[in-house]
Each structure stands twice: as structure tokens, then as C-alpha cells.
Amino acid sequence: MNDLLLQTDKITKTYRNGKKEKHVLNGVDLTVHAGRLYAIEGESGSGKSTLLSILAGLQKPDSGSVSYWKNGEMVELTSLHENELAVLRRGDIAYIPQTCDMVSDLTVMDNIRLVDYFTEKKGDTEHLSDIMNRLGIAQLADAYPADLSGGELRRLVIARALYGNPKVILADEPTNDLDVHNKKEILDVFSDIIQNGVAMIIVTHDQTVAEKADQRFRLVDGRLSFGDRR
């Protein structure tokens, strides 16, 4: 299938603290296609954030592979160097962490275009203002993160993720702490993005989010089991 973007094969991950071992992932298989929304649910501590960070190339699995198709060509994430992974994260694979860490002495606008400081290729201002408008934070361009509400911060984190025109977005509980209104706005933005061909994987406890997914999974005993399929 030519819309294949991401595929994992039997990922395992064990955390070790001294003699203590915690087997978090025990063979995770996941196939991700363009233009689809995937929801991953599971108990707290079941390994959802660990899985997302491995998909983002932020940490390596102990065994198994993560393949990404960049312009139709397969790239093996687990064999890339840190600088190559960083390049992928700036463009192709966007990771939206559970917490909204921002650079506190940069404005909203500069936080979004932070990635420009690391690359030769500068993003265009039209794209930047389009994203800020879409997320309803254009009027906050010159404000600082500390001045934003929880909902505004969430939108800022999402704007930063969208700025690199990612093909895959990995979002860790992106609607936590949001009121109904903010949640709806963010979910509408996500729907638009997905319709434009982006694949999105959302870790969530939120049933209204999970119900929107094309495919639902549950992480149990370190493996993904199928949930409802739309």
C-alpha cells in the first residue's frame, strides 16, 4: 500500500533500575497509514508514553524495529544517528509531549519557529501566520508562555508541531486539562490535518477522542490489542 508511513515490528522495551526490571513493551506491532487517526488507550503505567517516544525516535527499543517511509523510501529509525533523528523530528515526525514545555523567554511566535534556529531552511511567514490563525493564537504572537492559559499553551504546543509540516503526529494525551470548548477546537484542527493526509497517533483516556479514531488500540501487558474499528 503506498500510503504506508510508519510500521513497527515486535518492539520490546525493559527499564532497569539496579536489579529491578520492568518489561514495559513486549512485542508491539503497529502499522500506520496516511490520513488516519489511531488512538492508543491503556492503564496508567502501561507504557503508552514509552511507545510514543520510541515512535518519535526519542529512545530506542531493546529489540524490534521502527520503519518510516520518507517519500516512499523506507528509513529504519532504530539505526539512525541522533542528528538524523533530530532532522526527522523537525519535519516528518512531530511529537507532542504530555507536558507543554516552552522556552520561557521566547515569545509565542518564536517558540513556534524555534526549529528555524537549527536549520538552514527557514519556514515562511505565511505558513506561520496560517498556523497561528488556525489554532486561534495569532493575537498572542508577542506574548510569553507564562501569560498563557492551559488551553492556549496546548494550542501553542500543537502549533509548534504543525510548523514543520509533519507527515506523522504523535500526541501524548493532548486534550488533558482542556475544557469542552478548547477540546472541540483542537479536535477540529486535528480532523483538518488528518483529512489533508497526515497520520495521527493519539494516546488518550478521553472517550470522545478515542471514538473519532479510525482504529483503536489498547496497550495491555506490553502489547497492542485491537479495539473497535470504524
Q: Which three cell numbers stand for residue 12?
A: 520490546
Cβ 205 to ligand ADP, closest distance in Å? 10
Among 48, 90, 134, 155, binds ligand ADP (CB under 6 A): 48
Q: Does 24 bind ligand ADP (CB under 6 A)?
A: yes
**Identity of the residue, 15 or 139, whose beta carbon is nearer to ligand ADP in the bound complex:** 15
Which one of the spans 47-55, 139-147, 162-170, 204-212 is the region binding ligand ADP (CB under 6 A)?
47-55
Q: Count residues binding Mg ion (CB under 5 A).
A: 1
**Identity of the residue, 45 or 197, whose beta carbon is nearer to Mg ion in the bound complex:** 45
d(C-alpha 35, C-alpha 21), whole Å: 38
Among 34, 37, 38, 46, binds ligand ADP (CB under 6 A): 46
Binding partner of 45, given ligand ADP, Mg ion, none, CB within 5-8 angstroms per partner class: ligand ADP
Phi first, then psi, for residue 58 (nearest 5°) are -80, -25
Binding partner of 44, given Mg ion, ligand ADP, none, CB within 5-8 angstroms per partner class: ligand ADP
Among 3, 23, 45, 177, binds ligand ADP (CB under 6 A): 45
**Identity of the residue, 20 or 81, whose beta carbon is nearer to ligand ADP in the bound complex:** 20
**Contact map string, positions 49 to 78, toward Mg ion, x by CB under 5 A:** x-----------------------------
Q: Does 70 bind ligand ADP (CB under 6 A)?
A: no
Cβ 57 to Mg ion, closest distance in Å? 17
Q: Which three cell numbers stand for residue 131?
A: 498556523
Binding partner of 151, given ligand ADP, Mg ion, none, CB within 5-8 angstroms per partner class: none
**191-195: long-range contacts at Cβ-Cβ below 8 A with a sequence spacing of 24 or more?**
192/134, 193/162, 193/169, 194/35, 194/36, 194/37, 195/35
Chain residues binding Mg ion by CB under 5 A are 49
Chain residues binding ligand ADP by CB under 6 A are 15, 17, 22, 24, 42, 44-50
